[in-house]
Chain A
Amino acid sequence: MSSDQDHLKETDTEARFEFKKEQKSSFQADKGLTEETIRVISEDKDEPEWMLQRRLRALKQYQKMPMPTDWPGQPDLSEVDVDEIVPYIRPDVETRGGVDDWTDLPDDIKDTFDKLGIPEAEKNALSGVGAQYESEVVYQNMQEQWEEKGVVFCNMDKAVQEHEDLVKEYFMTKCVPPSDNKFAALHGAIWSGGSFVYVPEDVTVEMPIQAYFRMNSEGMGQFEHTLIIAEEGSEVHYIEGCSAPKYSAFNLHSGGVEVFVGEDAHVQYSTVQNWSKNTYNLNTKRAIVEKNGRMEWISGSMGSKATMLYPASILKGRGASDNHITIAFAGEGQNIDTGAKVYHNAPNTKSTIESKSISKDGGRTNYRGLVHIANGATNSSTSVECDALMFDNESTSDTMPYMEINESTVDVAHEATVGKIGDEDVFYLQSRGLDDDDAKQMIVSGFIEPITEELPIEYAVELNRLVELEMEGSLG
């Protein structure tokens, strides 16, 4: 490991996530969800009329749709009462849309991100960084060289003002309409913050862009929206990290992510999710991929009480491809229900899905995936591989793939395995002088390696450390 990662060693990872700040804000919406709340949020953000109308339409849809309760083996959502959460908290920051210098932030917020190691990472490995605290982005900066090439990386609220035409065209219209599911509708009504990324034709953003999402207050909901538009021939890697301290009341995170991958473009979207274990993480993430475009979803789900997340790729253009790599780690009291969805809607499209899950101390993991090959998507191929590792008899691991094949000239393969950690593997390592815990940790690190090697080294190290902490059962 190079000295670049020293800052990750200095602070104890556990302490870095598990601290709370006093709740300070300049504006806080009332609990619950009414038309009034939405008008107030929209007004506080000074939004154009069309956005307010979209929010109100989404609210109507939200009110009409039933809560998902009948999926086999799904997490229990009965505790999720939207009327009990605070949907919008504007932190106490002078500059709307965030500052571009960490030192301009109030001390408590700056201290939060310092502890999370964000400013350090920015210096070392990233093209741009955005940081969201509660409902608003408080910091946003990108290296000049990318700005000069026309790359836009700004917070979503600012984009509504400054890139209105693009946002109006792409925001929850073609990719994730609010009618998609109940939480997409909720998101459409009260979204706040998030990132807007625009990469012009043929521009390759060489280092990743990162956004970090932090919920500090008890009983709040975070609903950030991420919209990425990658034009023809462009390339970008977007990373998001999430965390929150643990409270007794539940928190709700319901983000929306829309990615437009242009012809021959390549977008990688990586997530390291470490929400506190009182958080319900119910997201909708989807990409539309044009001709010969390539979409990659990399995600590590470590935190949250319950996660329901199935990043989707719609392979719309001939030769488009998708790659999903997911890892889920469920410890005590956690239910991680995650997977992938791919729609092959054009000829010569390709997808590969690789899922790894680990359940321990009564945790539940579920891989739920859908691969749909439409009539006419000739010469398409898909391969799905799910592996699950179980540590004890209190834990559960389910695998529920769905394949819908409407075309004959295809190559479809699905494989899954479930098992306990190999006694022989542990024995071998012990015979080499490792103790039982270290041996198991090493096996787990090897098990998730296909994922970690896809991430920049900072994140790989981070993910490994989170896994180690989970293994010790010491994460809060």
Chain B
Amino acid sequence: MSSKALPANLSEETVRTISDERDEPEWLLEARLDALESLESLDLPDVIQTPGRRWTNLEALDFEELVDPLNAADTTERVTAEGVEVLSFTEALDSHEEVVEEAFGSTIAPDTNYLTALSAALFTTGTLIYVPEDVDAEDVKIRAEMNSKSLFSHTLVVTEKSSSVTILEAIESGESDVEGERYFSNLVEIVAGENSYVQYGSLQNLDENTYTYSLKRGDAGVYSTINWIEGNLGSRLTRSDIETELNGDSSETKIVGAFFGHNDQHLDVNARVWHKAEHTTADLVTRGVLDDEARSVYEGVQDVGRDAWDTNSYQRENTLMLSDESEADASPKLIINNHDTEASHAATVGQVDKEDLFYMLSRSIPERTARNMLVEGFFVPVLDEIEVDEFREDLQELISARLD
């Protein structure tokens, strides 16, 4: 695929203005300018292509039309917990510059692809969550509203040795007079220190004029655990990649995803894990429901490196189709370079189980109600993983609302 030209409204001047307005240190400005420069040689994220079918068409996005770099606006509410620093990106640069400098771009290099570089050059919002050694923090919350044509957010989570934290991030569209199509970009980097624990839950419910790109990647240290929970209900098109690199011996990860598409939504959700050290464990669980003309694309990758002795790696993906017009593409991949591995994956696509439905009808539950109950039940394995109660309730509510 050829790289894209630079949008006309994007210049070094734009990037300098963004950086100046935030009074940023020189290293960050340099990083932004490098990212801007690299744009021309970068490609969009990889998309699966089989004979006659391109699973997601990112090329159709017109960034000149979608991106309005100097008018970014968001309202973000941050709820902290005891012992943990939850700071906006600009505040973090003031008080924890070293932490930010070390973590920024350490797991997602800005030149990973065109969209990550665009984010590095243009991001205006984001959060640093810093958990010092031995601190156990619960229920950190970030609730963001997007109020502009385009918004780029970059979030960093750094957990020091033997700390733990549970995080909820929710994003929706605020009330604003922006017309036409919009673009939201969300990058999250987690650096999990030795023996630390992170659960990062994310709920995306943007309006259906918005195109969303989200890349979340964690670097798991020795004995650490990174658990991701991702709910995608909003946006016209969502491209979401959740990835963990198991770099430390005995590190673990769970990537749990739920999506529910309706109308003509397109959901391209991906979960990837790289086993790079010994005794690592991964569990990937994705459950999705499609109604109307919604379409889903799923790629799951379990990559076991040559040095990843004693690996356990599991992956399950289940898609439920409620409508004849919906479409589901799935590709669960195993790439195994070390034989001392126990790996499996399973994927299914189907409808609501007829026998289950019949049983409920025989208990005189109306058909529609019965189906809805079964759909809600279908999401239970995902809901059960969520540790932040508020997140679970929000997700449950959004699911029931969509079923009515």
Q: Report which A residues bind B (CB closer than 8 A).
A: 73, 370, 372, 375, 388, 390-393, 395-420
Which of B20-28, B322-330, B384-392 is the interface stretch? B322-330
Cβ of A145 to closest chain B Cβ, rounded Å: 42
Q: Which of A398, A404, A416, A420 contacts B329 (CB 8 A)?
A: A404
Point out the residues of chain A lying under 8 angstroms from B326, CB to CB: 408
Mark each residue of chain B from 109 to 149: 1 if its CB lies under 8 Å from any CB of chain A, else 0. Answer: 00000000000000000000000000000000000000000
Point out the residues of chain B lying under 8 angstroms from A397, CB to CB: 334, 336
Determine if A415 and B345 form an interchain contact, defined as CB atoms under 8 angstroms apart: yes
B105 beta carbon closer than 8 Å to chain A:
no
B337 beta carbon closer than 8 Å to chain A:
yes
Chain A to chain B contacts (Cβ below 8 Å), 26 pairs: A390-B339, A391-B339, A393-B306, A393-B337, A398-B336, A399-B332, A399-B335, A400-B334, A404-B50, A404-B327, A405-B319, A405-B328, A405-B349, A407-B324, A408-B326, A408-B351, A409-B324, A409-B351, A410-B350, A412-B350, A413-B346, A415-B344, A416-B332, A416-B334, A418-B342, A420-B341
Determine if B327 and A419 form an interchain contact, defined as CB atoms under 8 angstroms apart: no
Point out the residues of chain A lying under 8 angstroms from B330, CB to CB: 402-403, 405, 414
Q: Report the bound CA distance from A203 to B153 in whole Å.
A: 69
Known: A403-B347, A408-B321, A408-B351. A418 touches B329 (CB 8 A): no
In order of increasing CB-CB distance, the 4 nearest A-B pairs are: A390-B339, A408-B321, A412-B349, A399-B334
Q: Report the bound CA distance from A17 to B53 in whole Å.
A: 42
Q: Report which B residues bind A (CB closer than 8 A).
A: 48, 50-51, 53, 306, 319, 321-324, 326-351
Point out the residues of chain B lying under 8 angstroms from A390, CB to CB: 336, 339, 341
Point out the residues of chain A lying under 8 angstroms from B346, CB to CB: 413-416
Cβ of B273 to closest chain A Cβ, rounded Å: 14
Determine if A412 and B348 form an interchain contact, defined as CB atoms under 8 angstroms apart: yes
Known: A400-B331, A406-B327, A410-B349. A416 touches B344 (CB 8 A): yes
Q: Report the bound CA distance from A412 to B346 in whole Å.
A: 10
Cβ of A257 to closest chain B Cβ, rounded Å: 18
Q: Report the bound CA distance from A324 to B375 in whole Å.
A: 33
Point out the residues of chain A lying under 8 angstroms from B339, CB to CB: 390-393, 395, 419-420
Cβ of A65 to closest chain B Cβ, rounded Å: 13
Q: Report the bound CA distance from A409 to B321 in whole Å.
A: 8
Known: A390-B336, A408-B321. A418 touches B343 (CB 8 A): yes
The secondary-structure label for the interface of chain B is strand
Point out the residues of chain B lying under 8 angstroms from A400, CB to CB: 331, 333-334
Point out the residues of chain A lying under 8 angstroms from B51, CB to CB: 370
The residue on A at minimum CB distance from B55 is: A404
Determine if A399 and B333 form an interchain contact, defined as CB atoms under 8 angstroms apart: yes
Determine if A398 and B338 form an interchain contact, defined as CB atoms under 8 angstroms apart: no
Q: Report the bound CA distance from A419 to B343 in whole Å.
A: 6
Determine if A419 and B342 form an interchain contact, defined as CB atoms under 8 angstroms apart: yes
Most chain B CB within 10 A, of A391, A400, A401, A404, is at A404
Determine if B350 and A411 form an interchain contact, defined as CB atoms under 8 angstroms apart: yes
The residue on B at minimum CB distance from A402 is: B331
Determine if B333 and A393 form an interchain contact, defined as CB atoms under 8 angstroms apart: no
Determine if A418 and B344 form an interchain contact, defined as CB atoms under 8 angstroms apart: yes
Cβ of A312 to closest chain B Cβ, rounded Å: 10
Cβ of A227 to closest chain B Cβ, rounded Å: 22
Q: Report the bound CA distance from A403 to B347 in whole Å.
A: 9
Cβ of B359 to closest chain A Cβ, rounded Å: 19
Q: Report the bound CA distance from A138 to B280 in whole Å.
A: 57
The residue on A at minimum CB distance from B335 is: A398
Cβ of A237 to closest chain B Cβ, rounded Å: 29
Most chain B CB within 10 A, of A388, A409, A412, is at A412
Point out the residues of chain B lying under 8 angstroms from A407, CB to CB: 324
The secondary-structure label for the interface of chain A is strand
The residue on A at minimum CB distance from B307 is: A393
Q: Report the bound CA distance from A420 to B341 in whole Å.
A: 7
Q: Report the bound CA distance from A402 to B47 in whole Å.
A: 13
Point out the residues of chain A lying under 8 angstroms from B349, CB to CB: 403, 405, 410, 412
Q: Which of B321, B331, B338, B341 contacts A401 (CB 8 A)?
A: B331
Known: A405-B327, A408-B326, A416-B346. A393 touches B336 (CB 8 A): no
Q: A418-B334, A418-B341 are in contact. List 19 more A-B contacts (CB 8 A).
A: A73-B335, A375-B327, A393-B340, A395-B339, A396-B336, A396-B337, A398-B334, A398-B335, A400-B334, A401-B347, A402-B48, A402-B329, A402-B330, A403-B328, A403-B347, A408-B322, A408-B324, A412-B349, A413-B347
Determine if B348 and A414 form an interchain contact, defined as CB atoms under 8 angstroms apart: yes
Known: A416-B346, A418-B343. A403 touches B331 (CB 8 A): yes
Determine if A414 and B333 form an interchain contact, defined as CB atoms under 8 angstroms apart: no
Q: Report the bound CA distance from A73 to B333 in whole Å.
A: 12
Cβ of A244 to closest chain B Cβ, rounded Å: 30
Point out the residues of chain B lying under 8 angstroms from A391, CB to CB: 339
Determine if A393 and B347 form an interchain contact, defined as CB atoms under 8 angstroms apart: no
Determine if B348 and A413 form an interchain contact, defined as CB atoms under 8 angstroms apart: yes
Point out the residues of chain B lying under 8 angstroms from A372, CB to CB: 50, 53
Point out the residues of chain B lying under 8 angstroms from A398, CB to CB: 333-336
Point out the residues of chain A lying under 8 angstroms from B342, CB to CB: 418-419
Q: Report the bound CA distance from A411 to B351 in whole Å.
A: 8
Cβ of A62 to closest chain B Cβ, rounded Å: 18
Point out the residues of chain A lying under 8 angstroms from B341, CB to CB: 390, 418-420
Q: Which of B319, B338, B345, B350 contacts A416 (CB 8 A)?
A: B345
Determine if B336 and A370 form an interchain contact, defined as CB atoms under 8 angstroms apart: no
Cβ of B271 to closest chain A Cβ, rounded Å: 15
Q: Report the bound CA distance from A399 to B335 in whole Å.
A: 6
Q: Report the bound CA distance from A179 to B284 in whole Å.
A: 39
Determine if A388 and B336 form an interchain contact, defined as CB atoms under 8 angstroms apart: yes
Q: Report the bound CA distance from A407 to B51 in whole Å.
A: 19
Cβ of B69 to closest chain A Cβ, rounded Å: 33
Point out the residues of chain A lying under 8 angstroms from B348, CB to CB: 412-414
Most chain B CB within 10 A, of A372, A416, A417, A419, is at A416
Q: Report the bound CA distance from A406 to B294 in whole Å.
A: 11
Cβ of B44 to closest chain A Cβ, rounded Å: 15
Q: Report the bound CA distance from A407 to B339 in whole Å.
A: 37
Determine if B344 and A417 form an interchain contact, defined as CB atoms under 8 angstroms apart: yes
Q: Report the bound CA distance from A375 to B328 in whole Å.
A: 11
Q: Report the bound CA distance from A410 to B349 in whole Å.
A: 7
Point out the residues of chain B lying under 8 angstroms from A406, CB to CB: 327
Determine if A393 and B338 form an interchain contact, defined as CB atoms under 8 angstroms apart: yes
The residue on B at minimum CB distance from A417 is: B344
The residue on A at minimum CB distance from B329 is: A404
Point out the residues of chain A lying under 8 angstroms from B324, CB to CB: 407-409
Q: Report the bound CA distance from A411 to B324 in whole Å.
A: 13
Q: Report the bound CA distance from A271 to B158 in whole Å.
A: 55
The residue on B at minimum CB distance from A389 is: B339
Q: Report the bound CA distance from A370 to B51 in whole Å.
A: 10
Q: Report the bound CA distance from A391 to B345 in whole Å.
A: 20
Cβ of A242 to closest chain B Cβ, rounded Å: 26
Q: Report the bound CA distance from A419 to B312 in whole Å.
A: 10
Cβ of A285 to closest chain B Cβ, rounded Å: 15
Point out the residues of chain B lying under 8 angstroms from A401, CB to CB: 331-333, 347
Point out the residues of chain A lying under 8 angstroms from B351, CB to CB: 408-410
Q: Report the bound CA distance from A392 to B344 in whole Å.
A: 18
Determine if B340 and A414 form an interchain contact, defined as CB atoms under 8 angstroms apart: no
Known: A393-B339, A418-B343, A420-B340. A404 touches B332 (CB 8 A): no
Point out the residues of chain A lying under 8 angstroms from B333, CB to CB: 398-401
Most chain B CB within 10 A, of A388, A399, A408, A415, is at A408
